[in-house]
Structure formats: structure tokens, C-alpha cells
Amino acid sequence: MNFPDPSSLTALINTQPDPAGALPLVTGGLALLLVLSGSPWRLARNVVTIVHESGHALVAVLVGRRLQGIRLHSDTSGVTVSRGKPTGPGMMLTALAGYSAPSVLGLAFAALLAAHLITALLVVAALLLVSVLIMVRNAYGVFAVLVTAAVLGVVALVAPPGVQAAFVYAMTWFLLFGGVRPVLELQVKRRRGAARDSDADQLARLTGVPGAMWVLVLAVIAVGCLVMGGLWLIEPTVK
């Protein structure tokens, strides 16, 4: 029986030094500009959609629902189909997980960076993409996940440590900021009557709590993750 090389396993838990200078602040600023932009955001939003639908899928499995698959669309929308009881806590948690997923993942990545585990973060991101790829059920979705995986693979395998650090900080900031904008966009769409089957409205039908209150809950989660994750990320610059 062949066992993994201990040195390769040790590399996953070895800590890396603090990022040089103002790297956390610079990457945070660039990520914020991307999230506030027009066309670049619409392209980068595919990553947020992948995480959003993955959040639905993961929680659906955890609460015992039967996952049917994920579909990602070129307009950056997506849908996750699962089978199970149409009401109850399991369905509620599944509906709640989508908009929360980018922010929660960004917070988890920020925790790994605060612990100086850049290599472990890249490995976790790769494993998440592989698991998503298995669940995708349409051609564009496969394409979007493969492109994202290719970028991650190039950084992980080819880029020098400094570039890797900049990339993972930018990616983490993007998830944190990128978790907030879709929630704001959701409420704008709801006011226009263009999102009557949104996650917030599904939660309203499941619980009897108005959809606007669920948008507020999602906003609190997103902003809370941004604040906490942001503090972890900028800690090296304020020591």
C-alpha cells in the first residue's frame, strides 16, 4: 500500500510569513473596485454564482435532501435542484444558504489567511471546485467551473509565492465584498417585482416572515462576514 509523502502533507499545514507591506489593503481595494464595476463585475460574478449554488447544494445534502444537480447560466444566474420535503427547517436552511455562501466562504478563507495557511487555502479551493464540477448538469456550467479551476491551477502550480499570496488575498476580499452586492441587487429587483421567486421570497413563503426581513438577515450575514474577515485580513498591516 502506498502512503502519501509526509512532506507533501506537512506542506499543507506549514505556515507562510505575513504578506509584504500593504498587500492586504491593496488587494482589498482592487477587489472592491471589481465588485463596484460594470462589465468586469458581470464577468467575475460567475464565481459568486458558483459559490452561491454550491452553498444551496452543500446544505441540501447536509439536511438530507437528494441533490439532483446544479445549472449555471451565462447571465450569471443559476439553479440548484434537490428533492425532499418542500417545507420545514431543511428546506429553509437550503434556501438561506445561497446568498450567504460567498460571504461565509470568504470568512473561512480569511481565517486560513490569518493562520498563514495559503497553501491549505488553495487546496481547499481546488477541492471545492472539483466537488462542484461533479454536480454541474449543463455545458455552460461545466465551462465556467473549468475556467475558474484553470486559473486556480495556474496560480497554485506555476506562480511564485508572492503572486500566490496576492491572488488568495484578492480572491478572499472578492468573496467578502462579492457577498454583499448580490444581496443589495436582490432587494432592488424585488422592489421592481422582478424577483418573485427569489431565495428571500421562498423563505417568506416557508416561514411567513416578509421577504424584506429575509433580505435584511442576508445583509447582516454578508456585512458581518465582511467586517470580521476584513479585520483578519488587514491585521498584518496594523501590527
pLDDT tens-digit profile of 50-98?
999 999 999 999 999 999 999 999 999 999 999 999 999 999 999 999 9
pLDDT digits (tens, 9 = 90+) for 179-215: 999 999 999 999 888 878 899 999 999 999 999 999 9
pLDDT at 47: 96
- Domain annotation covers residue 1: no
User: Is 167 part of any domain?
Assistant: yes
Residues 6 or more apart whose CB falls under 8 angstroms from that of 55 comprise 97, 98, 99, 100, 101, 102, 104, 105
Evaluate if residue 2 carries a pLDDT over 60. Answer: no
Question: Between these two residues, 72 and 2, which has the higher pLDDT value?
Answer: 72
State how far the Cα of 165 lies from the Cα of 171, in Å rounded to an integer: 10
Is residue 14 a part of any domain in this protein? no
pLDDT recorded at residue 119:
84
In a domain, 10, yes or no: no
How many Å apart are CA 108 and CA 229, to the nearest integer? 8
Q: Is the pLDDT of residue 238 over 70?
A: no
3-state helix, strand, coil in the chain (%, to 5): 75, 5, 20
Task: For helices 181-191 and 89-114, give the axis angle rounded to 10 degrees.
Answer: 150
Predicted pLDDT at 54 = 96
Total domain count, the chain: 1
In a domain, 4, yes or no: no
**6 within domain boundaries:** no
Structural domain boundaries, residue 84: 29-238
Cβ atoms of residues 50 and 178 within 8 Å: no
Question: pLDDT tens digit string along 100-157?
Answer: 999 999 999 999 999 988 888 988 898 899 999 999 999 999 999 999 999 998 998 8
